[in-house]
C-alpha cells in the first residue's frame, strides 16, 4: 500500500475490500487481452484529495494505470482532457483503454491507460533536453483554430492578461486567505503590467495546439532515447509555450529545471526546427512568470494544510515557494 495516504474519506479497508474488486472487474471487462485471468496484481501508487492512482500488473508482466478522479468539480476537465488525449494517442505514446464518466461500475470517473516505462530524473543532460523539445514540438505541431484554457470558453484571440485575471479571480474566490499577503497583491499588479509587454506576441498567435498543461519534471518519464509525458488530466487546446514554461525556470526546484542560456537557446531552436513559431521564446518568458505565480499559490496552500502528512513534499514546496518569492521580490523590489 502507498505510505503517503492523504484522503480521509477513503481508508485502506475501503480500497482493498470495495475498490480493488470493482477495479479488477472493470479491468477484465475493458482489456480484451486479459481475458479470464484473475491473478492480476493491484498496487496503490498514490491517493490525494483529487485522484486515486492504481498500478495493475498482469501475470504476463503487462502494466496499466487505473486513475480515478475524486473531486466532483473537476470531473468535466478530466473528461475533456482524456477525450483530447484519445484523439491524439499516436502523438503521445500513451494508449487510453477506457474512459468512463458514468460512476455506475465505479463510484468515481476513471481512465485506464498503458503504463509508461522509465523513471523521473531530476538531472538531465543536454541530449535529454533536446529530446524533450522534440517531444513537445511533435505534440504541438498539429493545430486547432481555437483554444479552451482549462475548460473555459473557446476563443480565437489569446490575451495573457485576461487569462491571468480569470485565474486570479478563481483563486481569490476559492482561497481568499492566500490574498491577505501584501506580496501576492503587489506581484499581481506587477505581472499585469509585465504581461502588457507581450501583447503583440500573443495577438500573433492564430493557431493553437494540444497542451499537456502540467508538464513539470515529475510528469516526464525518461527512457533510453525517449522522453514521455504522463498524467494528462490537465490537457487542453492552447499555447504550447506554456509546456516549456512549466519546466524551465530561472532556478531549479523539485518540479523545474534551470538551464544556462546556451542550452536553452539550443532547446528552443530544436523545437522551432520542427514547429516554427516566430514569437515562441517571448511567450515562454510570459508563461514562465504566469506559471511561477500560480505555483506560489499552490505551494502556499499545500504548506498551510499538509505540514505533517508528507514532510519531503512539504520541504520541496516550501523551498520552491521561497525561491519564487525571492525571485519576484528581487525582480520588482516588492
Q: What is the pLDDT of residues 213-222, one digit of tens each?
A: 999 999 999 9
Q: Average pLDDT of 231-253?
A: 96
Are 134 and 128 a contacting pair, CB within 8 Å? no
Query: DSSP of 168-182, one letter per residue?
Result: HHHHHHH-GGGGGSH
17-21, 85-89, 283-287: least confident range: 17-21
- Is residue 136's pLDDT more than 60? yes
What is the arithmetic mean of pLDDT over 104-118? 93
Instruction: Look at residue 2 in the predicted model and tell me its pLDDT.
Output: 38
- 226-229 and 51-57: which strand pairing? unpaired
The alpha carbon of residue 90 and the mean position of all alpha carbons in its chain are separated, in whole angstroms, by 19
- Each residue's pLDDT tens digit, 143-181: 999 999 887 788 999 999 999 999 999 999 999 999 999
33 has a pLDDT exceeding 60: no
What's the pLDDT score for residue 91? 86
Q: d(Cα 230, Cα 212) in Å, to the nearest integer? A: 9
What mean pLDDT, rounded, does the chain reach?
Answer: 91
Nearest to 239 by CA among 166, 192, 291, 179: 291
Residue 220 backbone phi and psi in degrees, to 5: -125, 120
Placement of cell 506554456 in the chain: 242
- Contact partners, residue 80, CB within 8 Å, separation at least 6: 148, 151, 236
For 123, other C-beta atoms within 10 Å of its C-beta total 8
What is the pLDDT, as a whole number, of residue 153? 83
Q: How far is Cα 207 from Cα 158, in angstroms, rounded to an integer?
A: 10
For residue 1, pLDDT over 50 is answered with no
Which residues face 65 on adjacent strands? 55, 113
- For domain 12-114, say whether CATH 3.30.200 is its number: yes
CA distances from 192 to 186, 198, 333 (A): 10, 11, 16
Q: Which has more confidence, 297 or 4? A: 297
- The pLDDT score that the predictor gives to residue 308 is 64
> Which pLDDT value is given to residue 36?
46
Every domain of the chain and the residues it spans: 12-114, 126-332
pLDDT value at 99 more than 60: yes
282-317 per-position pLDDT tens digit: 999 999 999 999 999 999 999 988 766 678 899 999
19 versus 268: the higher-pLDDT residue is: 268
- What pLDDT does 309 receive? 66
DSSP 215: -
Q: Where are the beta strands (DSSP E) in the chain?
A: 41-47, 51-57, 63-69, 96-100, 110-114, 143-144, 208-211, 220-223, 226-229, 236-238
pLDDT tens for each residue of 122-132? 999 999 999 99
User: What number does CATH give the domain 126-332?
Assistant: 3.90.1200.10
Q: What is the pLDDT of residues 155-164, one digit of tens each?
A: 999 999 999 9
Is the alpha carbon torsion for 301, 305, 307, 311 positive or negative? negative
* Local confidence band at 5 (pLDDT 50, 70, 90 cut-offs): very low
Find where cell 483530447 sits. Answer: 84
Which pLDDT does position 4 carry in this prediction? 43
What confidence score (pLDDT) does residue 305 get?
83
Dist. CA 181–CA 69, nearest whole Å: 32
pLDDT band with cut points at 50, 70 and 90 for residue 8 = low
pLDDT of residue 60: 83
DSSP assignment string, 95-137: -EEEEE-S-SSSSS-EEEEE---SB--SS--HHHHHHHHHHHH
Amino acid at each position: 500500500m502507498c505510505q503517503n495516504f492523504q484522503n480521509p474519506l477513503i481508508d485502506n479497508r475501503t480500497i482493498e475490500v470495495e475498490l480493488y474488486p470493482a477495479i479488477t472487474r472493470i479491468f477484465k471487462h475493458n482489456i480484451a487481452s486479459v481475458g479470464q485471468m484473475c491473478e492480476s496484481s493491484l498496487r496503490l501508487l498514490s491517493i490525494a484529495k483529487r485522484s486515486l492512482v492504481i498500478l495493475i500488473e498482469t501475470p504476463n508482466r503487462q502494466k496499466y494505470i487505473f486513475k480515478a478522479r475524486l473531486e466532483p468539480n473537476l470531473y468535466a476537465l478530466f473528461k475533456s482532457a482524456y477525450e483530447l488525449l484519445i484523439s491524439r494517442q499516436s502523438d503521445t505514446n500513451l494508449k487510453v483503454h477506457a474512459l468512463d464518466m458514468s460512476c455506475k461500475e465505479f463510484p468515481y470517473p476513471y481512465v485506464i491507460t498503458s503504463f509508461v516505462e522509465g523513471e523521473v530524473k531530476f538531472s538531465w543532460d543536454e541530449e535529454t533536453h533536446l529530446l524533450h523539445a522534440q517531444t513537445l514540438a511533435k505534440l504541438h505541431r498539429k493545430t486547432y483554430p481555437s483554444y479552451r484554457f482549462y475548460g473555459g470558453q473557446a476563443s480565437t484571440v489569446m490575451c495573457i492578461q485576461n487569462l491571468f485575471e480569470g485565474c486570479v479571480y478563481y483563486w481569490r474566490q476559492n482561497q481568499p486567505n492566500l490574498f491577505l499577503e501584501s506580496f501576492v497583491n503587489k506581484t499581481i499588479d506587477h505581472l499585469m503590467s509585465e504581461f502588457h509587454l507581450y501583447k503583440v506576441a500573443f495577438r500573433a498567435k492564430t493557431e493553437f495546439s494540444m497542451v499537456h498543461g502540467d508538464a513539470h519534471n515529475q510528469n516526464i518519464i525518461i527512457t533510453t532515447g525517449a522522453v514521455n509525458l504522463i498524467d494528462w488530466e490537465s490537457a487542453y487546446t492552447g499555447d504550447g509555450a506554456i509546456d516549456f514554461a512549466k519546466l524551465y525556470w530561472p532556478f531549479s526546484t523539485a518540479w523545474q529545471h534551470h538551464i544556462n542560456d546556451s542550452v536553452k537557446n539550443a532547446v528552443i531552436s530544436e523545437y522551432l526546427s520542427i514547429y516554427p513559431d516566430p514569437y515562441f521564446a517571448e511567450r515562454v518568458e510570459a508563461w514562465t512568470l504566469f506559471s511561477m505565480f500560480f505555483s506560489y499559490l499552490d505551494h502556499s496552500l499545500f504548506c498551510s494544510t499538509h505540514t505533517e502528512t508528507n514532510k519531503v513534499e512539504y520541504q520541496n514546496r516550501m523551498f520552491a515557494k521561497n525561491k519564487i518569492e525571492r525571485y519576484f521580490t528581487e525582480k520588482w523590489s516588492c
